[in-house]
Amino acid sequence: MDEKKAGVGQNITLEDRKKISATGVQDVQNFSDDSITLSTTMGTLVIKGKNMHITRYSLEDGKLTIDGEIDSLTYSQGQRPKEKDGGVIKRIFK
């Protein structure tokens, strides 16, 4: 299942700062009504707001929907293909 999602990109739709629909979600690491931390195909995503609730989460297709007052979305680490392969430094010292 994780192999299937690993090659999938990610899309996030924010509607009127009241609803988020996301794809590429691999895991919900932490959640409360004011903060939700997600592991996604693009890195760790932290969503902050008020009165937030996960209304839909499908492990099979990696889709998630959150309702509430959304204040911010922040990636705390990114997955960049060049860094995964060692980037410029690794290529220089081949």
Phi, psi angle pair for 86, to nearest 5°: 100, -10
pLDDT digits (tens, 9 = 90+) for 20-29: 999 999 999 9
pTM of the model: 0.73
Q: Name all domains of the chain by residue range, CATH numbers in brackets.
A: 2-92 (2.60.40.2000)
Average pLDDT of 44-67? Answer: 95
Checking if the pLDDT of 69 tops 90, the result is yes
pLDDT of residue 9: 85
Which residues in 44-68 are b (16+ Cβ under 10 Å) and which e?
A: bbebebeebeeeebeeeebebebbb
pLDDT of residue 89: 52
